[in-house]
Structure formats: C-alpha cells, structure tokens
Amino acid sequence: MKKTLFFLFQAATLAFSVTSCKQDDPATPEIGSVVLRFDHVVGSRDLVLNDSTYTNGGGESFRVTTLNYFVSNIRLKRPDGSEFVVPQDKSYFLVKESDANSQKITLDEIPAGEYSAVSFLIGVDSLRSTMDIGRRTGALDPGGAASGMYWDWNSGYIFLKLEGTSPLAPIGANGQRSFFYHVGLFGGYKSKTLNNLRTIQVPFGSSRATVSAGPAAAVTIKGDVLKIFDGVKALRIATNPDIMVSPLSADLANNYAGMFRFDKIQAN
C-alpha cells in the first residue's frame, strides 16, 4: 500500500511538473476575483459593538464586545456541481467585527465562470493547525494577526470568539459582568479531542456570482449572532457565561455553523 502511494506520488509529481510547462501557453484561462463580505447582524438589527443592547431567545439582554472568527478552506461551487478550491496557502482569513477591512475577503485568480455557492470552514483545519510555525504566517501568525486567537497552553487556534457583557453574567475580576465564548479544538495532535471544525455551505439561491476579467462580484453573507445562542441547542448566558474548552463548545460550534446565510451579490 505504502509503495503504491509512493509511486502515485511520483506520478503526480511528474504530471504536475509537465503541466507546469503550459504556463507559456497563450491560451491561459481567463481569471477574475470574487469578494466575500461578512455582514454581522443580531436578528433583524445590525451588530454594533459595545453600545447596542440585544436580547437572545431566553430573554437575556446582552452587548457584544468582540466577534472574531477564522474563515478558511474556501471553495467556490459551480451550478454543475464542480468546484474551484482556493489554493490552501491563500485560504486563511481572520474576520473581526472591530475591523471593517477584515470583513471583506478578496479571492483573486479565480477561473472565470458562474458560481452558485461558496463553502468554507470556520476555524483552522487540523493539517494547518499542526504545521511548522513557518507555514503559519499572515492571519495565522500567533505573534501577529492571530494574537488573541490562539491557545498557547493547548496549542491551537480559537476558531470563533464571541465576548460581551450581560446582567446575567457573573462579575469578573475587572468588575464587569462578562461572558466569554471561545471555541477551538481541531481534533487533537495524538490523543483525540473534540473536533469543532464546521464546514459552512452558503448557496446563492438563484443568484450567480459571475467571475470575469471585469469588476469582481461581491457576495454578501449575513452572520446572525442570535443563532449562536439559539441554534441547534439553546445556550444561555446565565447558566453558561464561559464556554471554552468543554463539551459545550461543540454545541456552540453547531449553533454558529447555522449563523451564515446568503444575502446578495453586487458588483464590487
């Protein structure tokens, strides 16, 4: 088996090297860009950090101070079911409500054509999570952009972080009533742990994102914070003000896996 795989690998290497010569071919396929815009709401209201008060399905009032999450392993799907996989090294983004630029993900070098859906992971896949630190730059740099989105004591990224205040939360060391939802865990290095990676499918309905050499199509995806509390399982601030490395993190991940929905496509 090993030997077969080995020869397959060689064959693949050879095939890859031969096709790489085609770059000189004048008939290079047309490429273009797609923009994914993440727009965060709380139910029917826009998400505003710190100042707006919202109410979850349990009647608990809360404010949001932080909403960050990783979007990775993006795939664009065509109506015929085929898909374009965004190259791994260009497929990691950290979306932060506090940083408007981060909510706009531009994907370049996308083959021209029509796309009818996008899928992505919330979080960082296990392969990348265990890769050499030199392969984890940009959004994934724990000493840079990923600062605060990385568990140093249990090596791994925080996939999604939702923090806020609520009169239902206990008083913390800073004198504030805060809740902390940090979800990570990619399945473990050697011993199995929870795998809280979730793949999100966002079909565009009857709309199509057209990729061409012209202006990029911008796909707006709404992310509804209420779904984090009221999704597959209702989670309440009063009973669970802190969810981090615990079995409940899987419920939280199931909830936020349902928070995204297609909104519209516009020219960027």
Partner 1 sequence: MRRRQRFGLVASLVFFGLVTSCKTDSGGGDPDPGPSVEFKPTPYAWKKPANFPDPVYNFSKNTLTQEGVALGKALFYDGLLSRDGTISCAFCHQPSAAFAHTDHPVSHGIGDRIGTRNVPGIQNVAWGSAFFWDGGINDLDLLPISPIQNPVEMGDSLKNVLNKVRNNGQYRALFKAAYGTEEVTTERFLKALSQFMLTMVSGTSKYDKYARQEGGTQLTESEQRGLTLFRQNCASCHQGELFTDGSFRNNGLAMRLVNSSDYDLGRYLITLNLDDYNKFRVPSLRNVERTPPYMHDGRFQTLEQVLNHYVNGVTDSPQLDPLLKKSGSAGLPLTRQQQQDLIAFLRTLTDYEFLSDRRFQPE
Site mask, partner 1, residues 153-192, x = CB under 8 A? xxx--------------------------------xxxxx
Site mask, partner 1, residues 190-229, x = CB under 8 A? xxxxx-----------------------------------
152 near partner 1 (CB under 8 A): yes
Shortest gap between Cβ of 171 and partner 1 (angstroms)? 18
| Residue number with CB closer to partner 1 (100 or 173) | 173
Q: Measured between alpha carbons, how far is 55 from 72 in angstroms, rounded to an integer?
A: 30
SS3 assignment, position 240: coil
Q: What backbone phi and psi angles, to 5 degrees, belong to 7?
A: -70, -35
Binding partner 1 by CB under 8 A: which of 1, 3, 4, 28? 3
Q: Measured between alpha carbons, how far is 10 from 38 in angstroms, rounded to an integer?
A: 41
Strand partners, 31: 111
| Residue number with CB closer to partner 1 (139 or 219) | 139
Is the CA virtual torsion 16, 19, 24, 26 positive or negative? negative
Q: Are strands 242-243 and 178-184 parallel, antiparallel or unpaired?
A: parallel
80 near partner 1 (CB under 8 A): no
Q: Measured between alpha carbons, how far is 147 from 46 in angstroms, rounded to an integer?
A: 27
Query: Site residues for partner 1, window 51-70 (CB under 8 A)?
Result: none
Shortest gap between Cβ of 151 and partner 1 (angstroms)? 8
Could you tell me if 256 and 203 are in contact, meaning their C-beta atoms sit under 8 angstroms apart?
Answer: no
DSSP states of 162-214: EEEE-TTSPB-TTSSBEEEEEEE-BS-SSS---B--EEEEEE-TT--EEESSS
| Residue number with CB closer to partner 1 (175 or 247) | 247
Site size toward partner 1, by CB under 8 A: 39
How remote is the C-alpha of 198 from its chain's centroid? 9
- Which part of the chain contacts partner 1 (CB under 8 A), choosing from 32-40, 111-119, 146-154, 208-216? 146-154
| Residue number with CB closer to partner 1 (151 or 262) | 151
Query: Site residues for partner 1, window 115-134 (CB under 8 A)?
Result: 130, 132-134
Q: What is the CA radius of gyration of the chain?
A: 21
Binding-site ranges for partner 1 (CB under 8 A): 3, 6-7, 10, 13-14, 17-18, 20-21, 23-24, 130, 132-134, 136-137, 141-144, 147-148, 150, 152-155, 188-194, 245-247
